[in-house]
Amino acid sequence: MNWAFYNDLVDGKAPGRFDPWSTATRGHAARVLWGVSRLPGGTPLPDTDDSGIRGLVLLGPLSPVVREGEPDSRPYAATIVIRNAGGATEVTRVHSGLDGRFSVALPPGAYVLDPVPGGDPLPWAGQQEVIVEPHAFTQVVILYDTGIR
């Protein structure tokens, strides 16, 4: 689904709302087939499916006053660009769901996670360097800063 979304073959029901489990219409299926026929070669799939990155994207702080027992962040749907170790070349993109979770299979190696800004200038999240080990998924948390202080 991430590959199809990145290549503009599918989109959400509304801005910020992507539901891959809902029923697809004939129009949705036609759009996917038309789009696939127009792709020059597609995005290469990773050589492995037993290693990669799994993450959670959060938005916070939610309030200038933190109260005990109340959450100060919430899940956030965002786009994360994954680059090679030097950060110069885009490897792929992944989109977190409404629950803030994402998962992407990648070959072992060093990567840079480059979150796409959610607005201008906020919310914003900084880059993270990540090492993917063979036969393992590296767990990450990406916090988008709301600027609330």
* CA–CA dist 97, 42 (Å, integer): 23
pTM for this structure? Answer: 0.67
What does pLDDT average to over the chain? 83
pLDDT at 40: 54
Mean pLDDT on 97-104:
93
Residue 2 has pLDDT above 70, yes or no: no
Q: What is the pLDDT of residues 54-93, one digit of tens each?
A: 999 999 999 888 888 888 899 999 999 999 998 889 999 9
pLDDT at residue 45, as a whole number: 45
Q: pLDDT digit string (tens) for 17-49?
A: 666 667 777 777 776 776 666 655 544 444 557
Give the residue carrying structure tokens 């090492």: 131
For the segment 123-134, the average pLDDT, to the nearest whole number, is: 95
- Tokens 């087939």 locate to 33
Q: Which residues contact 128 (CB under 8 A, 6 or more apart)?
A: 112, 113, 140, 142
- Could you give the domains of the chain? 1-43 (no CATH), 46-149 (2.60.40.10)
For residue 32, count CB atoms less than 10 angstroms from its CB and return exposed for 0-12, middle for 13-18, buried for 19 or more: middle
